[in-house]
Amino acid sequence: QVELVESGGGLVQAGESLRLSCAASGTTPSINAMGWYRQAPGKQRELVADITRRGSTNYLDSVKDRFTISRDIDKNTVYLQMNSLKPEATADYYCNAKDGVLMRDRWGRGTQVTVSS
């Protein structure tokens, strides 16, 4: 089974940057895609960005000009570079992996991002 561990969250001021990392272990050959979701207090979890094994990317419209998702397939790691952060980005960020064998999503425990004004 795939296991995900996130890191890189923290407290920053508006306009600053953070880089999130997600390392996958276990049955990594079964992963079809990986991505980042976030959930703010009182809000539903939403997709921020994802990337397929082939390298195709998809972004939430509100972040596509400032965030960049990338991955190192050999290291089974996905990254989210978050630039020009805004207070509305404050949320718990969760790494996601789509398991093509179990046909289900696998989630990390999350890492908190707080952007102050």
* pLDDT tens digits, one per residue of 70-106: 999 889 999 999 999 999 999 999 999 999 888 899 9
pLDDT at 110 over 90: yes
The first and second tokens of residue 57, run together, are 């990317």
b/e burial code for range 69-92 (CB count within 10 A of at least 16 → b): bebeeeebbbbbebeebeeebbbb
Q: What is the pLDDT of residues 1-38, one digit of tens each?
A: 899 999 999 999 999 999 999 999 998 888 999 999 99
* Cα–Cα distance for residue pair 34/114, rounded to 1 Å: 23
Give pLDDT, residue 15. Answer: 98
